[in-house]
């Protein structure tokens, strides 16, 4: 289960995306995701899809990893599509009793599902191609101006990275609980869906307990390494923008501008 979650995982390759400055990847990911939120026309969706496939090609991350990462989203994607399919008003193409399916509902459902998939894939590129420590250092550098407002940017960046990294860890703990129950002859996966939802409720207590234990151990580990509040901490690797970083940022801004122009022009 934990291997099927994209966000929080890191896949090591020798791609150019892996070698980029983490600040570049954070900036570009944020710009791309903001531009994807405004997608409306078919042309803009095609351009965004081609961009994601280009990133997939350049990152050298196997396609199977992304396909596995989309499995946990099937319920959300199905619910989103059905919500727009049945509740969007427009030209009715099929109806039964109080249920109506409109052509606008089909189009809206496809658009929203398509957009969610693109956003998840783009967000996953950031963690799949960036080590947690590098991601923390990049966030810290980008948020450094906020330190003038007495905001603990060092602790904030570390907290964000740890929260992202704990997503697959928590799911791994849940998988261990499920395997323990299965060994005792109680397999939740064979239950009907409505019973399966209620069966997960008793697992929240042991899951919460193990998560708190891991958080406590992590706290001791950070204190043992004299991290403190993170201020005036030195870094073994100094972050420095290269020529390729500026080229990637400019290219990303041009792509975002292109998507915005496509929306304004209705193309």
| pLDDT by 10s per residue, the chain, length 267 | 445 555 667 777 888 888 888 888 888 888 888 888 888 888 888 888 898 888 888 888 887 777 777 777 777 888 888 877 777 777 767 677 767 777 778 888 888 888 888 888 888 888 888 887 777 778 777 777 777 777 777 777 777 777 777 777 777 777 787 787 777 777 777 777 667 667 777 777 777 888 787 778 877 777 777 666 656 666 666 777 888 888 888 988 998 888 888 887 767
CB burial of 170-202 (b: ≥16 within 10 Å; e: otherwise) equals: bbebbeebbeeeeeeeeeeeeeeeeeeeebeee
Residue indicated by tokens 């261990």: 176
CA distance 9 to 129: 9
Domain count of the chain?
Answer: 1
Predicted local confidence at residue 219, as pLDDT:
77
CA distance 100 to 92: 6
CA distance 25 to 131: 12
Could you tell me the residue range of the domain that residue 126 belongs to?
Answer: 2-265
Predicted local confidence at residue 235, as pLDDT:
65
Predicted local confidence at residue 233, as pLDDT:
66
Strand partners of residue 96: 99
Predicted local confidence at residue 108, as pLDDT:
81
Predicted local confidence at residue 5, as pLDDT:
59
DSSP H or E segment with residue 150: none
Predicted local confidence at residue 128, as pLDDT:
83
CA distance 176 to 190: 17
């Amino acid at each position: 289960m934990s291997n099927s979650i994209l966000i929080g995982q890191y896949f090591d390759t020798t791609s150019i995306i892996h070698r980029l400055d983490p600040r570049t990847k954070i900036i570009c990911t944020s710009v791309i995701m903001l531009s994807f939120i405004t997608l409306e026309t078919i042309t803009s969706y095609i351009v965004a899809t081609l961009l994601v496939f280009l990133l997939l090609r350049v990152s050298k991350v196997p396609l199977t990893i992304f396909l596995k990462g989309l499995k946990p989203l099937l319920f959300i994607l199905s619910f989103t599509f059905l919500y727009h399919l049945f509740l969007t008003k427009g030209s009715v193409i099929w109806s039964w009793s109080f249920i109506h399916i409109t052509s606008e509902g089909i189009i809206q459902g496809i658009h929203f599902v398509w957009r969610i998939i693109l956003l998840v894939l783009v967000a996953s590129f950031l963690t799949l191609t960036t080590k947690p420590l590098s991601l923390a250092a990049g966030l810290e550098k980008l948020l450094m101006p906020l330190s003038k407002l007495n905001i603990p940017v060092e602790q904030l960046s570390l907290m964000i990275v740890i929260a992202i990294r704990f997503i697959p860890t928590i799911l791994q703990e849940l998988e261990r609980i499920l395997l323990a129950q299965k060994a005792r002859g109680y397999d939740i996966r064979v239950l009907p869906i409505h019973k399966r939802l209620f069966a997960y409720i008793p697992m929240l207590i042991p899951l919460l307990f193990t998560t708190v234990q891991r958080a406590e151990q992590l706290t001791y580990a950070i204190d043992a390494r004299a991290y403190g509040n993170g201020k005036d901490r030195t870094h073994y690797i100094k972050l420095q923008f290269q020529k390729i970083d500026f080229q990637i940022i400019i290219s990303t801004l041009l792509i975002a501008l292109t998507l915005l122009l496509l929306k304004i022009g209705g193309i």
